[in-house]
Structure 1
């Protein structure tokens, strides 16, 4: 995997273990609820297990915005895209641009569709994925035919 340049502000950096930065994102209860529907924060073991899984089952990147790591995005072998942006950087269209780049990556890989799993209460994510053309196919399932 190589660095993916999205625009002058956003780059996707291939995953490497960076606990100091990434664990902080998963210490926010709201982010943990959005991502995993849990009411507690991640510990280091949970963080490592998540990233080990994502990086061994697809492409996993850190999101760098104006030189600061602000989240992560992944495209798994099962065609699922997932994204996390730390709270202070949400609502700046960073996520939209990163998911759009994952759609390009999916096309490069020859995928015929991309899926996303979004909890029913996560209106912010549902709105973003719908704006990108995803359609809801189940209670928490979204799909975009490429």
Structure 2
């Protein structure tokens, strides 16, 4: 199975993605909001929100997302979101300030990829870690063997540190990045030995 990462320019996604049906382990009932703590919750994707423009039109953030300083147009972001929503679980990350709530990022879990984007103003608050821990739990409940991050760029030391601290390990070298993975099930040999 070949897989071109979702980070490819959004206009190319529908033409280039060649993997088969990725909906096999996704329950297509309407997704519900997920409260992670008193400040953070996950909101199922419903439409493109204007906050997305801030992340996907910032060249510095995009360098960590796609590997080059670029920006996505509103149409490219919409196309990316629609594709991700059809091929996995897509949520916005909402932060509660007390007096109001704000969308501060998005997160996507597919059969062969996991991606998270947090607004620069909300980084280094352990929000990404909390959200990722939830999706590790969710992946285990879905009876997955692994959760995979298809691409973390070599210069993105913050993401590398977060994922390795959560038990992910680099398993495949790419041109300027590594793919990371976390095993969710113990190896069959370990299970047999424990019986």
The normalised TM-score by structure 2 is 0.72
Q: How does 1:1-146 map to 2 (within 5 A)?
A: 1-66=31-96, 67-78=101-112, 80-116=113-149, 117-139=151-173, 140-146=178-184
Please tell me whether the aligned partners of residues 48 and 81 of structure 2 are also in contact (alpha carbons under 8 angstroms): no
| Runs (5+) with no aligned partner, structure 1 | none
Please say if residues 74 and 102 of structure 1, whose CA atoms lie closer than 8 Å, have aligned partners that are also in contact.
Answer: no
Deviation at 1:15, TM superposition (A): 0.6
Cα shift at 1:110: 1.1
For these two proteins, the number of residue pairs brought into alignment is 145
**Comparing 113-122 and 56-65, the one that deviates more:** 113-122
What do residues 67-119 of structure 1 show as CA deviations (whole Å, max 9, x unaligned)? 211000111122x2110001111111000000111111111211111011211
When the two structures are superposed, what TM-score results if normalisation uses the length of structure 1?
0.94
Check conservation: 1:19, 1:44, Cα contact below 8 A: no
